[in-house]
A and B are shown apart, each in its own frame.
Chain A
């Protein structure tokens, strides 16, 4: 009995010793992992030069701070002035609508459909009452043709749109030769950052559609917007594209909300016309 215990323990000790010897990894120092080199990936627009980037960031941050102040201090009074002039217009419109109303409103009132309650099974003690059928009783009348709203939004004429299209084609061809006439990265980013803050992306949009709206702005030297124009406005009234109108309207609201835009202090000729490409895809997918 004792002997077997001794033999057993000797063998066990031997086993443990052998295992201990053959465990090499514990003895070795851990592999030296080279220090992690952080690489910053910066997206750069075609037009800008890389050296601007680090500076620009700081500038943008400053600008953002400024914006916050500006929005809270300056924006409201300015807007009040502007909207006032617009209210006058809308009053006219309202009156028109109201005067129309009596004609449009008298709605033919159908009599309630009588519902004959058929055999009721024992299982259904409380049948649903008439509500279900009264769907048909609703009378709807639109005061304003909804299609017209799209037209109201941008009053631009089609021929000017075409002109701009032509011009766009030309600019695209000439893009490379006129690099210097674009905004600098800091200028562009300041503007972007401002509009990012103003744009409420409509949340119900289909996530898998083309969600690009291009808007052309005519600007005053102080950055206020004198004219807006939706470039693909033919798409506004296409069937199955109702989300496009919604998106375009949200872009226009963003521009309105952001006024005056943070434009460069110099070179008005460069940016008195500006095209904003609103693209919601990135946000809605991510």
Chain B
């Protein structure tokens, strides 16, 4: 009896042993950009001719796919493969990719699509395929006026980016900046706006007066900036669509360093008088002005947290420029930057967890990020002179501007926009027609 019981007990153990699942931890992989193929969007001859007439582009399908390809490449996260290696024609690939062919050129994802001309509109459908799993990941279609073709490319890029990274993209966006020309001592500055990839550049002011620090509102239709109109440096508000502009508030002195609140209802800025600068807000609906800081020091460069409850700003109340955080009513002021050097231009990330800044230490300028309590400081890039970071709407990329010498002797200078990934990788020059500074990144236009 006892023996039987023991035997039973032993038998009951057996299956457990068989189920002993071996676990293997995979903690490493390659961090190379994901290889993918962007097949040119297919187009029928009739549509092709129509678009050629309207847009003066020989093949709008491949133009759009080129935009997608460039966007994905500049993100640094993807590696669009050379079209020459593609084995399958665009129209057939869009119907049914031969996954083994695409696998052969080591693509892990494939983008296909079709462009048609229907009722004087541009209709684009596209599909994203997982080559290894041999299945469709996403399929979308858009219809719009033909002149919007570039934006279609950007929106496709955003959708692909989102599907493959789990985060929203940032391609269907614009950048407002200050276009610069002329010698340093008499620099001509104009407000300019362009697509994120540098296309569709437009100047918004003539350059008769100095303009600085333009910043978008949350819907990217309004811009607040500093203008020296009539030699009175004041914060202005500009409606990009209508071109109307107005002075913000009625201050008896210089107002500067403007930014919108996250709800777009207020402008926060500095007002300088009698040698001290304090932070004020003005409500755009009821024009009420509120004083937020009151300190004999210089308080400037305010930036709201995305939830609107906190403000990061720049103050020299400790003796040198440092970054502080306070509640949005001005209470509970706390210094958060304690590293070596001086800190300026805090900008709260759209995700809310980080603050980007400019740091000056031992004659070098750094763009960096720190957590909102000041811990975890990471310097992303070092240079002779650079400042003014602005976040991409998904909080993944920073755009800033950098001045460099034009020759080895250190003579001449040029100011350009640069972007860098939050990880500190993928630093890139953002091409502009003229010299450029003070970039501000819009929100996603299509959402």
Contacts and interface: CB of A to CB of B under 8 A. Distances in A.
Interface in B143-180: 143-145, 147-148, 151, 155, 161-167
Contacts of B98: 87
Contact of A123 (B100, B162, B245): B245
Given A124-B204, A140-B141, A271-B22, A178 B27 contact: no
Contacts of A152: 135
A117 B143 contact: no
Nearest to B102: A83
A143 B139 CA distance: 6
A83 B205 contact: no
Chain B, interface residues (CB within 8 Å), range: 35 or more
Contact of A87 (B108, B119, B134): B134
Given A80-B100, A201-B31, A203-B33, A277 B23 contact: yes
Most buried by B among A115, A121, A182: A121
B348 to A, nearest CB: 17
Interface residues of A, number: 103
Nearest to A282: B27
A103 to B, nearest CB: 12
A73 interface: no
Nearest to B425: A203
A98 B95 contact: yes
A115 B239 CA distance: 13
Contact of B167 (A98, A140, A174, A243): A243
Contacts, number: 266
B240 A128 contact: yes
A109 B143 contact: yes
B385 to A, nearest CB: 29
B352 to A, nearest CB: 12
Main secondary structure of the interface of B (DSSP, over half): mixed
Contacts of B21: 164, 167-168, 171, 216, 273-275
A26 B241 CA distance: 78
Given A124-B245, A135-B446, A94 B29 contact: no
Nearest to A280: B29
Given A90-B135, A98-B95, A203-B77, A183 B32 contact: no
27 contacts: A79-B100, A83-B134, A86-B135, A97-B139, A98-B95, A107-B141, A115-B241, A119-B242, A123-B206, A126-B203, A127-B242, A138-B143, A178-B20, A183-B24, A195-B24, A195-B29, A200-B35, A200-B108, A202-B77, A207-B422, A207-B423, A243-B166, A252-B133, A254-B26, A257-B132, A269-B18, A282-B27
Interface of A: 45, 76, 79-80, 83-84, 86-87, 89-91, 93-94, 97-98, 104-105, 107, 109, 112, 115, 117-121, 123-128, 131-135, 137-144, 146, 149, 152-153, 164, 167-168, 170-171, 174, 178, 181-183, 188, 191-192, 195-208, 216, 242-247, 249, 251-254, 256-257, 269-271, 273-280, 282-283
Interface of B: 16-35, 75-77, 95-96, 98-100, 103-104, 108, 119, 121, 125, 130, 132-145, 147-148, 151, 155, 161-167, 193, 200, 202-206, 208, 221, 229, 238-245, 353, 396, 422-423, 445-446
